Amino acid sequence: MVAAATSNLKPVSLELGGKSPLLIFDDADVDEAANIAFNGLFFNKGEICVASSRIYVQEGIYDKIVDKLVEKAKALVVGDPFDPQVNQGPQTDKKQFEKILSYIEHGKREGATLLTGGKHIGQKGYYIQPTIFADVKDDMIIAKNEIFGPVMSLMKF
């Protein structure tokens, strides 16, 4: 940033990746907040460094947001990305596919509640169901590590 600022004032944005949080407060429009949260993670199969994979929802609207997100995840069509009816294609490669599935298993073992998804789809390819966990705690692996896949962690505050 210093070099850009002292040379010719180029705009610079540092993408630091990680576990980008999204906070939703009680005064939020539930439908709009659910749309933003859903698209913030499930766009491009969750393979975005700034995907909002940790969703903190204030307790007053938590259940409503959870219901909307689960409904959206169950309606997402996974399959051949060349099919215009499909919303989510396969993960990038076998290594990433296996890594995502291992994180899903960590979430289950650590006590997060699997609300939907969590499984491989089909016999061929690296397709993973859109996955949503509730009751996630900040010290759980799925809350701390970047999964880089279609796995959402919901936390209530």
Catalytic sites, residue numbers? 15
32 assigned to some structural domain: yes
Inform me whether the pLDDT recorded for 19 exceeds 90.
Answer: no
Of 96 and 1, the structure prediction assigns the larger pLDDT to 96
1 assigned to some structural domain: no
What pLDDT is attached to residue 2?
A: 74
9 assigned to some structural domain: no
Q: What confidence tier does 6 reach under pLDDT thresholds 50, 70, 90?
A: confident
5 assigned to some structural domain: no
Please give the mean pLDDT across all residues of the chain. Answer: 93
pLDDT, tens only, 120-142: 998 899 999 999 999 999 999 99
Inform me whether the pLDDT recorded for 150 exceeds 90.
Answer: yes
Residue environment code for 69-96, b if the CB has 16+ CB neighbours within 10 A, otherwise e: bbebbeebebbeeeeeeebbbbbeeeeb
7 assigned to some structural domain: no
Contact present, 130 and 150 (Cβ < 8 Å): yes
What pLDDT is attached to residue 123?
A: 86
Which helix (H) or strand (E) segment holds residue 98: the answer is helix 94-109
Inform me whether the pLDDT recorded for 90 exceeds 90.
Answer: yes
What pLDDT is attached to residue 8?
A: 73
Identify any residues that bridge with 21 across adjacent strands, giving them in sequence order.
Answer: 54
Domain count, the chain: 1
Contact present, 47 and 148 (Cβ < 8 Å): yes
Query: pTM of the predicted model, to two decimals?
Result: 0.88
Domain ranges, residue 123: 16-156
Check which CATH number belongs to the domain holding 103 and give it.
3.40.309.10
Q: What share of the chain is helix, strand, coil (3-state, %, to 5)?
A: 35, 20, 45
* 123/51 Cα distance (integer angstroms): 27
pLDDT, tens only, 31-84: 999 999 999 999 889 998 889 999 999 999 999 999 999 999 999 999 999 999
* 81/87 Cα distance (integer angstroms): 7
